[in-house]
Structure 1
Amino acid sequence: MTGQDLVGQRIKTVRRQRGLSQAQLAHPELSDSYVSLIESGKRTPTPAVLELLAEKLDCSLTYLINGVTAEQMQEIELALNYAQMALDNGEVVEARTRYAELLADGGLAGLPQLRQDAEYGLALATEACGDLDQAIVLLNGLRENDTAAMNPERHIAVAVALSRCYREAGDLARAMQVPEQILTGAVQPAWNDGLMRLGIQLLAAYIDRGDLLRARQFSAELIAAAELLGTPLALTLAHWEAAIAAIETGHADEAVTHAERALAIQSEYGDPWRLARLRNDYAQVMLIARPMEAKTWRDVLLKVEKELVESSASSMNKMRCAMNLVRAELLLARPEQAEERMRFVCDLLDGMPKALQAEARLLHGESLAALGLQAEASRELSAGAECLEQAPETRFTAQAWLTAARVLERIDKPDRSVDAYKRAMACVGL
């Protein structure tokens, strides 16, 4: 049933509830035949006519258009705002529940834009809960059912989220296919911030697949596009992902240059929460690029930790910061302090994505090995390996297996170390 049919049906229902005939409703401004055509869905009333009919029927214009009263509309919009706030604050389970309840009660049936907002929010909350398969189903449903009703910005945002979910689930072919359909078609769209986000997802997929030559080339293309576009967001995204590409290809100094440029732009134009998150990622890059300066990066991370506590950052972001502090303490040969940090990380593990759980378990095994607690380290490495076995085979997973192999070698577990090396090679197709 079309929106036009629904409007006519509501007018007919309210008219009958009021005990009016079509002629009585029409008189004197309209003809009864015109009212009949509206009620049957054969004519679309103008805004002025709709206002007139709402007044004569003593009902709200909002109800005639959308099927809900003004009060109900306020309740729906408030519920959507609360769900979005929960998502922004990292309360992802609550956000998922709120969006699902909104969609289940039927109040959004006549509100296609708000329904689309709720479906998109539910997909993002589902992804944040680690349920990638269901998030992919929801995002594909949006693309298939609501494409015509989507504005260009939402269309790109859905593609960004879908590519990211495919990549995190290990389906790199689809992770690349989604953005390539938009960015590399016969007619290439003009770059904007949304398309830059999509380009970043494509670059990340190239890196995860191990296509580092293409990643370097595409990274240069994104930098050039961002410079022409000139927006702070585009420049931050392009330089940050270029830093990741440089790290992966062994160009540490170049990575530092790009990371510092991204951080400088974000410091000038970004909000405090996003800046804190970028500082955390920056410190992680620097711990790889310049491990001899670990004390400096630990000090940076301690400031980030305080900023995240004072902000609405999610538990996942706080956990990642704590893990980077563990890495810094290990580089500084302070395993006792590393183990203290790991207790906080372990308290947050439940409900996290399997890949992140594996990373945390392996890091814990490394800190226990540094303390000389070989049996405990072995148990944590086994738990990490169990998580890895459930995670998709990606470049990240390969690196995690490699970490496990090195720590197992250190605690004198040669057979398990060899097996972990083999698993790392299998993840990259060797």
Structure 2
Amino acid sequence: MRERDDPQVIGRRVQHLRAERGLTQRQLAEPAYTPAYISTLEAGRVRASDEALRHIAGRLGVAFEELAVGRPAHLATDLRLRLTEAQRLLADGRAEDAAAQYAALLAEAESHGLACEQATALLGLGECALETGELGSARECFERAEERLAGESLPVRVPAVRGRAVSHYLAGELRYAVYLLESTLDELNRGGLHDPDALLLLYASVIGPYMDMGAHARAAQAAEFALALAPRAADPALIARMHRSVARTLLAEGRVAEADASLAKAAELYRQLQLRTELANCHWMRGYVYAQDGELERAEEELRQALAMLSETRAALYRSQAAVELADVLHRRGKSAEAAGLLEGVLGDFSSERGAVHAAGAHRLLGIIAEDTRDTEAAEEHYVRALSLLERAGAAGDLADLCRLLGDLLRRTGRVEAALDAYRTGLGHRTAPGTTTLGPAPAQPPL
């Protein structure tokens, strides 16, 4: 609870409530206190003890907090119920409506000094901003949530840290996202703070950045820890998110059937929980799995469904990312004109600070399509732009392949020296599986 108001403020509050109820100072004071004490308190000349305020609150028929800090009874409970309603709006894909409700609840929580409810509202606003692709705003909300929770234990602060890391990841700052997640994992595990939900949230969140950086061994280990922690976790939405993340590592290891099974589990949980955006992301991942396994017709079906659902929920950044995956499948199915149109339509949603890895994927695919039509100048321009985005993001997993494509193009057009430079750059990014320039792996959880 926040610090009590000044004696003068409390005195005026007591006097107002007493007059409102038609009580005399003697009636309010008896049997434990004197009318003179009530008079002095109402004049603001004495700081009442908690015991005295509880007695007066009981006589007035109000909660102690209403006298001490002016907070109506049951306010915190009511706020928490309305925060849950806002969370449901977000889960239903109505991010803008949810953001408006979270903002109103944040202002109300701030006016009454309710720090935990403020943090919950800020976390909700951050998730809304992630969904609508406003990454700077999302990061600011998560930072403010962390500030409100500064006095709480690390497991309580983990959702805010994870939100901040995801904001950096989606902005293309892979290395910093990994640093945030790994250092928090390390602190939890070394400090003996073995909260299953907090650990599972962090391990599920670090898999994506690891994969994009080419740190496949670390991604596989994080997936292994996440699967081991899942039976101890209490949040079904978190377990579903874990299954979705783990599918990426299973796919990288060629375990396609297991990846699909993991996504099926996630999708079923999302359906039960009615989490529309997360369910759409599940269709997206299943499309990706089918595409990697060569089942292009099924991949197209899943990705079209994901794109339609994400368009309905106005999840701008996620929609654009799913569109890039769908365009890749369309190109492989011989529908290059539709693929190019889709990519040109979403490129404006990306930038070097927003969805850099998928922006690079869009330019890479446009380069391949341009090469197919023998427009080598446009192809080179797309490859170079993709290379710049990937280098800035540190996405070593995709850089080597892109350098090969650029080198082949330069060699075919007679620029051998430039082609050799591109190949050398690519070789520099072909690290051994699982190795990166990251620091030591975080301490392991006690499994």
CA change 1:113–1:405 in 2 (3 A) is same
SS at match of 1:317: helix
Residue identity in the other structure for 2:184:
V
Residue identity in the other structure for 1:221:
F
Residue 445 (structure 2) aligns with: none
How do residues 273-312 of structure 1 correspond to structure 2 at under 5 angstroms? 273=276, 274-288=278-292, 290-291=293-294, 293-309=295-311, 311-312=312-313
Cα distance in 2 between the residues matched to 1:303 and 1:107: 41
CA change 1:277–1:208 in 2 (3 A) is closer
Cα distance in 1 between the residues matched to 2:55 and 2:18: 23
Cα distance in 2 between the residues matched to 1:209 and 1:348: 23
Work out whether 1:173 is the aligned partner of 2:179: yes
Q: CA deviation at 1:177?
A: 0.9
Residue identity in the other structure for 1:369:
E
Cα distance in 1 between the residues matched to 2:61 and 2:154: 29
CA change 1:215–1:263 in 2 (3 A) is closer
Matched pairs, number: 412
Q: CA deviation at 1:399?
A: 0.7
Residue identity in the other structure for 1:333:
G
Q: CA deviation at 1:366?
A: 2.8
* Structure 1 alignment gaps of length 5 or more: none
SS at match of 2:50: coil
CA change 1:11–1:228 in 2 (3 A) is closer
Cα distance in 2 between the residues matched to 1:416 and 1:40: 80
Residue identity in the other structure for 1:40:
R
Question: Percentage identity across aligned positions?
Answer: 16
Residue 392 (structure 1) aligns with: 393
* Conserved 8 A contact 2:132-2:316: no
* Conserved 8 A contact 1:176-1:206: no
Q: CA deviation at 1:417?
A: 5.5
Residue 369 (structure 1) aligns with: 371
Deviation digits for residues 370-391 of structure 1 (CA, Å, limit 9, x no counterpart): 33333333333344345445x4
Work out whether 1:189 is the aligned partner of 2:194: yes
Equivalent of 2:245, from 237, 241, 247? 241
Q: Give TM-score, length-normalised by structure 2.
A: 0.71
Cα distance in 1 between the residues matched to 2:245 and 2:76: 41
Residue identity in the other structure for 2:335:
R
Q: Give TM-score, length-normalised by structure 1.
A: 0.73
- Which of the pair has the greater relative contact order for Cα pairs under 8 Å at 6+ separation? 2
SS at match of 1:187: coil
SS at match of 2:190: coil
Residue identity in the other structure for 2:4:
D
Deviation digits for residues 224-279 of structure 1 (CA, Å, limit 9, x no counterpart): 3335669855654444433322344xx21x1x133222222234332252223112
Cα distance in 2 between the residues matched to 1:129 and 1:150: 30
How do residues 138-149 of structure 1 correspond to structure 2 at under 5 angstroms? 139-140=142-143, 142-143=145-146, 145-149=148-152
* Conserved 8 A contact 2:220-2:249: yes
SS at match of 2:394: coil
Residue 442 (structure 2) aligns with: none
Q: CA deviation at 1:418?
A: 5.1
Cα distance in 1 between the residues matched to 2:428 and 2:24: 74
* Structure 2 alignment gaps of length 5 or more: 438-447
Residue 317 (structure 1) aligns with: 318
Q: CA deviation at 1:144?
A: 5.2
Work out whether 1:161 is the aligned partner of 2:163: yes
* Conserved 8 A contact 1:4-1:44: no
Residue 6 (structure 1) aligns with: 5
Residue 335 (structure 1) aligns with: 336
Residue 358 (structure 2) aligns with: 356
* Conserved 8 A contact 1:80-1:99: yes
Cα distance in 1 between the residues matched to 2:320 and 2:185: 30
Cα distance in 1 between the residues matched to 2:81 and 2:24: 36
Residue identity in the other structure for 2:246:
A
